[in-house]
Amino acid sequence: MRENPQNNRPSASASTKFLFLETGHATEPSVEYAPFFFVEARVDFNDIRTGYRSMVSLSRAMELHPLSSDLSLVEDMFQSVDPRNVRTTIPGFACLGTLPEFVDTGFMSQMENLFIRYLLNSFKAKVYRNSELDVYSSAGESRPDFTVRCMDLLGSARRRDLDALHEVFNRRLGQIGQKYVNMGATEDFELAKSVSHGRDIFSDYLERIAELFLRSGSMPPPEAGSRRNPQSRLEMEERLLSLESEAQLAVARLWDSYEEKARSVDEYILHPNLKDIHIVRSCILWMPAAAA
């Protein structure tokens, strides 16, 4: 015969509440239920130093044991419970066991205190800090996601360095153009044809290097390459190609330096303070004995 949990309560005036875990055993004639200590808590992280804010809800159940002076709670003692499956009425298939005599209002209060102590010592949140930017990760942000965000935050500084680097290569381009392209008018057809061809080549490299710096503001530079047959290059084109390769290498190094800055991440562990912990409710939760 199914026992009535009301008969198992310590006294009629006790404030201990009883809840019941509903499972998928509704088709069975009876399922033995055992009493567990059950607590729902909320941890509100609000760390001023890191700016980390997060609210975490916990629902835990553990077997009932007599209290002792050296009792401390550890993770292995608990099992998570989905609060959506907790009911205030006894499932029709539940056959309740016996509630231990030591369970009373004092026991429940001490268990709450032990659980709070457990959260203070064991519950934690992992936070990442970028030492270059002095910024911290947000709640739920993984290390890779945080690194990507840091790379985005470094975008303005990276763009300034790219612009400064572009000016250096523009000056060097101007020196090459001054030597090979900026010639006066000539009536020599072959010379004029060669100068025109050189200007086309110079303009091509000027656009390619400008495009390199423009595109590299948001993405790493492409690998170095050549569009022309090495045997047909003029002296000017050799210098331009060399300058383009230098520019690609310089931009790649700049990107590598910023990626290293974005990956300069340290890991911190935050533990809650007493004011961060809120016990929502604690009670005796009747669960299938097999859960023990």
Tens-place pLDDT, residues 137-162: 999 999 999 999 999 999 999 999 99
* Closest residue by Cα to residue 96 from 39, 37, 31, 28: 31
Residues 123 and 120: their CA atoms lie apart, in Å, by: 6
Contact 236, 202 (CB under 8 A): yes
* Burial readout 116-152 (b: 16 or more C-beta within 10 A, e: otherwise): bebbeeebebebbbbebeebbbbeebeeeebbebbbe
- More confidently predicted of 290 and 120: 120
Task: Give the pLDDT band of residue 5 (cuts 50, 70, 90).
Answer: very low
**Quick check: 226 pLDDT over 70?**
no
**Quick check: 282 pLDDT over 90?**
yes
Task: Give the pLDDT band of residue 178 (cuts 50, 70, 90).
Answer: confident
**Quick check: 133 pLDDT over 90?**
yes
Q: ∠ at Cα 75 (40, 72), nearest 5°?
A: 90
Which residues fall within 8 angstroms of residue 195, CB to CB, at 6 or more apart? Answer: 181, 183, 186
Which residues fall within 8 angstroms of residue 267, CB to CB, at 6 or more apart? Answer: 126, 127, 128, 129
* Closest residue by Cα to residue 20 from 92, 121, 126: 92
**Which pLDDT does position 217 carry in this prediction?**
75
Q: Which of 70-79, 212-221, 258-267 has the lowest mean pLDDT?
A: 212-221
Helices (H), the chain: 5-8, 105-122, 143-153, 155-180, 189-215, 235-262
Could you give the 3-state DSSP secondary structure of residue 250?
A: helix
Task: Give the pLDDT band of residue 291 (cuts 50, 70, 90).
Answer: low
**Which pLDDT does position 9 carry in this prediction?**
40
Taking residues 60-86, report their average pLDDT: 91
**Which pLDDT does position 158 carry in this prediction?**
92
Task: Give the pLDDT band of residue 292 (cuts 50, 70, 90).
Answer: low
Q: Mean pLDDT, the chain, as a whole number?
A: 84
Taking residues 157-171, report their average pLDDT: 91
- CA atoms within 13 Å, Cβ hemisphere of 21: 27
**Which pLDDT does position 68 carry in this prediction?**
87
